[in-house]
A and B are shown apart, each in its own frame.
Chain A
């Protein structure tokens, strides 16, 4: 099952709409509520990152029987030092992002904590690709 959502850079009014729609889909599929929460928290943080840092992006979701794969591709400034960005507390977010309740350097650590696989590749001046996967059958 595949879904694709567009994410608009800078538009905080729409930030979270992809995560919200995915949450409804996963509920309809009777996925365990704790697993749904992990998935949508990870996706929401990733979505907010595109809104906060990139110009535009898209979310591609693939749901199979045992796992969900989420790929977020953006056109934006890219991340020069990914290991530094992964550190809790490190952030390059603007004051506008902080006013929205984000930008404290917790997004990437939160994503890591809530998914089973996370890979980030980035090219400065071009954009970032975030790949996340979560197992659907967790006990």
Chain B
């Protein structure tokens, strides 16, 4: 699924990475625990999280995750956006709950990592 479709499906707002909306994602992982995110071995992942701080971006950098959706109306700070831009990441803000966002993406065909 293209990031552009994810944004439409979640009625969300792109905060960073506007140039990469044609990028494809295959899997979604939903977690607020960064240590769990660090265990993922799959590629082409979309991370759904309600944790909006610098460590979300750092964890994604280490895990080779380039696509992050912040759920539950969480907002990215300027420092997060800067770090995301340095790493060519896409940041998306979404007002839906983690459950609703997960359900919509799952129904639309994105796969779980396990």
Main secondary structure, interface of B, reads helix
Interface residue A59 (Cβ < 8 Å from any Cβ of B) = no
Q: What residues of B have a CB within 8 angstroms of the CB of A16 in the complex?
A: 54-55, 58-59, 61-62
CA distance A101 to B54 in the complex (A): 10
Interface hits, B24-42 → A, CB 8 Å: 32-39
CA distance A6 to B44 in the complex (A): 33
Known: A12-B54, A13-B79. A102 touches B62 (CB 8 A): no
Pair B39/A101 contact, Cβ less than 8 Å = no
Q: What residues of B have a CB within 8 angstroms of the CB of A110 in the complex?
A: 35, 38-39
Q: What residues of A have a CB within 8 angstroms of the CB of B59 in the complex?
A: 16, 44, 101
Question: Could you tell me which A residues sit within 8 Å of B by CB distance?
Answer: 12-13, 15-16, 19-20, 23, 33, 37, 40-41, 44-45, 48, 99-102, 104, 106-107, 110, 113
A-B contacts, 24 of them at CB < 8 A, read: A12-B53, A13-B54, A13-B79, A15-B54, A15-B55, A15-B58, A16-B54, A16-B55, A16-B58, A16-B61, A16-B62, A37-B62, A37-B63, A37-B64, A41-B62, A44-B59, A44-B62, A45-B35, A45-B38, A99-B53, A101-B37, A101-B55, A102-B35, A104-B36
